[in-house]
Amino acid sequence: GEIPETSIISLHAGVLGAPLAGAAVLFLVFGPLTLRLARSLEAPLKRLVEHSNKIEGGDFAVSCSPEPDSNDPEEIRSLNVAYCLMVERVRDALDDLRQASLTDPLTGAPNRKLLLQEGPRLIESARRADKPVSLLMLDLDNFKTVNDTWGHAAGDMVLKAFAEVLSRRVRQSDIFARVGGEEFA
């Protein structure tokens, strides 16, 4: 015998009707809530992504607001605070590295790198102002004798003391630097 199509369809529709109706109700109830949650996350996450892209590009001067929008979800606010703290720590570490790269570790005086970096700027500034420029190269004579006679610790003390004397004698607009072992400029 043959069974009419409508009977087959109505039989399956009855079996599938309840789950489909339940899914529709769930979608109607939770769909708008899910959409609202997604929209509430979109803007703050977009701000974090834009900021991190600037950081990735090397722009560490860009400000990071540790105070997110009060309408942001709590998790986003916590993420923002942690992110800004991380950026601040990276900035501090980079500043420390920059400073260390321009400073002689023994004497604390500027080093050759800083002299070569800032010297041309000072020369150009003097040239524009039609002012004379002087460069003094200072070498501590017989320094090897100090190291050989009293040891390297004594030699280090001499270098530190000499750098301290120079730092007090040099004008703020000038540069002095340790350029080698016992050589200063």
Angle 69-74-77 (CA atoms, 0-180°, nearest 5)? 45
Contacts from 18-26 at CB under 8 Å and sequence distance 24+?
A: none
Closest CA to 185 of 176, 2, 129: 176
Neighbours of 121 (CB within 10 A): 10
CA dist 69 and 82 (Å) reads: 15
Given a contact cutoff of 8 angstroms between Cβ atoms, the answer to whether 147 and 155 are in contact is yes
CA dist 6 and 18 (Å) reads: 18
Helix, coil or strand: residue 178:
strand
Active-site residue, 182 included:
yes
Which residues 6+ apart lie within 8 Å of 159 measured at CB? 106, 107, 140, 178, 182
- Which of 118, 124, 164, 182 is the catalytic position? 182
Residues carrying an active site annotation? 182
